[in-house]
């Protein structure tokens, strides 16, 4: 429970009891991050399903995604936009990192934000059953946070200081492996409850396809920037989330 509260304090706008933000807290937060993702996903998924059932699937999708973004203060959306600006600049590594550090957003970042949110909303709205769509969002949010938890097994950091550098290398391989296995089990369970055996297969397919995309995207980011930053972690979350939702929408 302490680890989950630490993750809540670091990655959401929900107030918790103050604590020291150090490597120990970072280790706890990374271990609990997939489970924070599941909780956020269940709440936003329930909201999406409820609105879809009484109104329209697109409106439900927008409500669910807005609730999710609001809960984390759009932290990860900011990361994917900044990463897009860095990649789109085609500048040398240090200059690209400097661009990502700036508080403003460039055209590449704006375009990326628009397309990410459009893809997420369209994919979620196209999933036939509101209840299964809610489960798909919950699993997608969980696996997106799992991607970062696994990524923090790596000791490679693009910067020596900063929020992102605090988390690099804090997760053990054992913790990552356990969280991966449990995430698959969650996908099986939620899929079965909301869509039977076909639902389980579809959500598990979403998890594995999203994992493959996360590996590819993570390797690309580390090669380009020389390691991880807070922005690239945010980018990894958003790209993985989109990949999972698209897979479920296309295979349901």
C-beta separation of 33 from 148 below 8 A: yes
Residue 1: is its pLDDT beyond 90? no
Question: pLDDT tier at 42 (50, 70, 90 boundaries)?
Answer: very high
Question: Which has the higher per-residue pLDDT, 244 or 96?
Answer: 244
Is the separation of the CB atoms in 105 and 29 below 8 Å?
Answer: no
Q: What is the dihedral of CA 118, 119, 125, 127, to 10 degrees?
A: 180
pLDDT score of 103 more than 80: no
Tell me: pLDDT of 74 over 80. yes
Rounded to an integer, what distance in angstroms lies between the CA atom of residue 195 and that of residue 133?
Answer: 10
How far CA 46 is from CA of 42, 49, 53, 59, in Å, comes to 6, 5, 10, 13
pLDDT above 90 (res 61):
yes
- Is residue 126 scored above 90 in pLDDT? yes
Any idea where the domains of the chain sit in the sequence?
38-251
Q: Which two tokens stand for residue 145?
A: 């946070």
Band of pLDDT at residue 159, cut at 50, 70 and 90: confident
What pLDDT sits at residue 233? 95
pLDDT at res. 150: 97
pLDDT > 90 in the chain, percent: 82
Q: How far is the C-alpha of 160 from the C-alpha of 2, rounded, in Å?
A: 27
Angle between helices 173-225 and 130-151 (to 10 degrees): 80
- Print the SS3 string covering 58-119: HHHHHHHHHHHHHHCCCHHHHHHHHHHHHHHHCCCHHHHHHHHHCCCCCHHHHHHHHHHHHH
- For residue 101, report the phi and psi dihedrals to the nearest 5 degrees: -75, -25
Kindly tell me if the per-residue pLDDT of 142 is higher than 80.
yes
Classified as helix, coil or strand, 240 is helix
Once rounded to an integer, what is the mean pLDDT over residues 67-80? 94
Average pLDDT over the chain reads 94
Whether residue 227 contacts residue 164, with contact meaning beta carbons closer than 8 Å, is answered with no
What pLDDT score was predicted for residue 21?
A: 85
Confidence at residue 35, expressed as pLDDT on a 0 to 100 scale = 97
Strand partners, 157: 228
Cα separation, 124 vs 131, in Å, equals 11
C-alpha span between 144 and 126 (Å, rounded) = 20
pLDDT digits (tens, 9 = 90+) for 210-245: 999 999 999 999 999 999 999 999 999 999 999 999
pLDDT of 252 reads 83
Cross-strand pairs, 65: none
Collapsed DSSP state (helix, strand, coil) of residue 19: coil
Report the SS3 class of residue 229: coil
């Amino acid at each position: 429970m302490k680890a989950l509260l630490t993750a809540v304090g670091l990655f959401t706008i929900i107030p918790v009891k103050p604590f020291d933000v150090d490597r120990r807290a970072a280790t706890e937060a990374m271990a609990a991050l997939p489970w924070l993702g599941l909780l956020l996903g269940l709440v936003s998924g329930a909201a999406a399903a409820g609105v879809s059932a009484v109104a329209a699937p697109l409106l439900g999708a927008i409500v669910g995604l807005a609730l999710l973004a609001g809960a984390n203060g759009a932290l990860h959306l900011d990361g994917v936009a900044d990463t897009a600006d860095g990649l789109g600049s085609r500048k040398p590594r240090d200059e690209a990192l400097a661009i990502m550090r700036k508080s403003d957003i460039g055209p590449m970042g704006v375009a990326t934000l628009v397309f990410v949110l459009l893809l997420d909303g369209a994919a979620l709205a196209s999933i036939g059953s509101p209840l299964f769509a809610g489960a798909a969002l919950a699993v997608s949010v969980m696996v997106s946070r799992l991607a970062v938890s696994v990524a923090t097994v790596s000791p490679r950091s693009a910067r020596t200081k900063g929020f992102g550098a605090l988390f690099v290398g804090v997760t053990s391989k054992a913790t990552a492996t356990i969280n991966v296995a449990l995430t698959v089990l969650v996908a099986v369970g939620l899929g079965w409850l909301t869509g039977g055996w076909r639902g389980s297969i579809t959500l598990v397919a979403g998890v594995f396809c999203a994992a493959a995309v996360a590996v590819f995207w993570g390797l690309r980011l580390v090669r380009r920037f020389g390691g991880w930053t807070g922005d690239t972690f945010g980018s990894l979350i958003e790209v993985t989330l989109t990949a999972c939702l698209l897979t479920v929408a296309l295979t349901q």
